[in-house]
A and B are shown apart, each in its own frame.
Chain A
Amino acid sequence: MVSLQQVRKTYPAPVRGQDPLLAVDTIDLTLADGQFCSLVGPSGCGKTTILNLVGGFEQPSAGRIAASGRSVIGPGPDRAVVFQEAALLPWMTVEANLAFALTLRGGRPAANTERIAQMMEVMGLTGFERHYPYHLSGGMQQRVAIGRALLTNPEVLLMDEPFGALDAQTRSDLQRFLLELWSRLNPTVLFVTHDVEEAILLADRVVVMSPRPGRIVDDIAVNLPRPRTWDAVLNREFGELRRQVLDALRPSDSRARRLS
């Protein structure tokens, strides 16, 4: 479970004499165990700030954050993170990158070789064990990053626009991979994206944020049947959800439309 209670985050003013910058304001958000939650909002609305707060990379200015039953005070192995760039270590082979978390926890006992091989296979990386990250395409690099995050079965998976830099085909491949892994390992996922379609397609619920200072303006349940495939987007229900999310994203637009 992940919970944010009355969380605010301010940054020091960029220019002296100005007011401090309020990035996110009074966020209350609770994710049930194993829930897949998408977080959408206009750019600069503080989506990434929320992710960094849950990840423990930044401290909230007010409020409380808890994950896996503990207060968040810093980064921890219970919460794995995947960024927009794969952030692999170029001096390690693909296999070593995948097993990085295990290496940090004291060697790689033989007991884990099977687990690593299995993850390599699930991620479609078999045969690339001895390759280096720069031999791989962007999509494959991101697959390594996702496998690396999930190898140790974290309770929470935080993803910051992980497919934002990929082409449409690769992106849809990776969405499929992610859903498959999620249904197997069932971590709680907080998925930041600016792509409304992606947000709905993947998640159990879509949380919509306002422009800065970021506040939650809508929280939409997605009850589309699983397993989902890409053609779910053609569904009428999907279209309705999309309209709902877009409405929440552009309140001024929708008001204008209603008035006319």
Chain B
Amino acid sequence: MGHSWKNRPGPAAEMADVAAAQGLWERTRPGYRQLVPWMVAVTLVLVWAGVAASGIFPKIYVPSPLRVVRDGATLATSGFAGVTLLTDVLASVGRISAGFIAAILVGVPIGFWMATSDIVFAAIDPMLQFLRPIPPLAYIPIMIIWFGIGELSKVILIFFCTIPIIIISAMSGVRGTQETRLRVARCFGATRWQVFRHVILPSALPEIFTGMRVAIGVAWTCLVAAEMIASQSGLGAMIHTAGNEIRTGVVFVGIIFIGLIGYTMELVIRLIEKRVIPWKGKA
């Protein structure tokens, strides 16, 4: 989300972009900016290695980076507790994808419907606002009681914790449609469907994408928590089991992979965003 402010429209953002483009660093060292994230990562790993090697903390609390890499390699090949890393990753990603895609398929139409009908809004909004402040983690026991500890309970949990975000972003996207653009379409004799297809839907897309980016982060939080409480597979389950056995290295591998996959998903959404809504923030 670190870049999202840049995408916001308005003269301030434009001026910031111009300022960045004309900045001294940018002109004299064009490749410098790309290096910064890598330098930060390398520095952090070095500090970590230094702390681990110093012996201030027992190895069991702070494993060295090398140890974590070795644990990762073992996990990838022979696995942990009979499950390989790939199986755990696929289990987690599969659950997220299923719940998240379902939330988009159901949430976007509901959001559109709420934005266009006062009655639908009046019917759904109180429910939405009531459910939204409840931490999704509070649903976990109910999910387990109702749907067991299989896949279904996790997918439904992801669905419920992401759908309010999707609904609200779709609704406010539609409401943010510029009045003059609607008028242009109407004065050319556009039908209701044409107004929706050519004006409202594209206007709402940027907000929907922002909603998706927020939702994917929330989805990971919920999923890992659910897997830690009740699951045989998935990164959360792996961390939980490893924690019980004080296999700190494995816990680290799990945490690093959750971060990396979450980051990758964000990058994928950004990539799709660039393809689908290249005009975002420019008009």
Enumerate chain A interface residues (CB-CB to B < 8 A).
55-57, 74-77, 79-81, 83, 85, 87-91, 100-101, 103-105, 132-134, 148, 152
Contact = CB atoms under 8 A, between A and B. Distances in A.
B181 interface: yes
Contacts of B186: 57, 74-75
B147 interface: no
Nearest to B183: A57
A72 to B, nearest CB: 12
The 8 A-B pairs at the shortest CB distance, nearest first, are namely A90-B283, A90-B279, A134-B282, A87-B180, A77-B189, A101-B188, A75-B187, A91-B202
B37 interface: no
Contacts of A152: 188
A83 B180 contact: yes
A88 B194 CA distance: 16
Contact of A91 (B180, B185, B190, B277): B277
Contacts, number: 67
A75 to B, nearest CB: 4
B91 interface: no
B77 interface: no
B178 A76 contact: no
Contacts of B183: 55, 57, 75, 81, 83, 87
A148 B184 CA distance: 10
Nearest to A102: B188
B198 interface: yes
A77 B185 CA distance: 10
A23 B217 CA distance: 50
A132 B279 contact: yes
Interface in B250-283: 277-279, 282-283
Nearest to B202: A91
Contacts of A90: 279, 282-283
Interface string B193-221: 01000110010000000000000000000
Given A75-B187, A87-B180, A91-B279, 16 more contacts: A57-B187, A74-B186, A76-B187, A77-B189, A80-B188, A81-B187, A83-B180, A87-B178, A87-B184, A89-B181, A89-B199, A91-B277, A101-B188, A104-B198, A105-B189, A133-B279
A80 B278 contact: no
Interface residues of B, number: 21
A80 B189 CA distance: 10
A83 B185 CA distance: 13
Contacts of B199: 89
Contact of B283 (A76, A79, A81, A134): A134
A80 B187 contact: yes
A134 B279 contact: yes
A148 B181 CA distance: 13
A101 B191 CA distance: 12
A101 B185 CA distance: 8
B16 to A, nearest CB: 17
27 contacts: A55-B187, A56-B187, A57-B186, A75-B183, A77-B187, A77-B188, A81-B183, A83-B180, A83-B183, A83-B184, A85-B180, A87-B183, A88-B283, A89-B181, A90-B279, A91-B202, A91-B277, A91-B279, A100-B188, A100-B198, A101-B188, A104-B190, A104-B198, A132-B278, A133-B279, A134-B279, A152-B188
Contact of B198 (A56, A74, A76, A89): A89
A100 B187 contact: no
Nearest to A91: B202
A132 B283 CA distance: 10
Interface in B167-188: 178, 180-181, 183-188
Interface in B11-46: none
A104 B279 contact: no
A149 B174 CA distance: 25
A104 B185 contact: yes
A91 B187 CA distance: 19
A77 B184 CA distance: 10
A80 B186 CA distance: 10
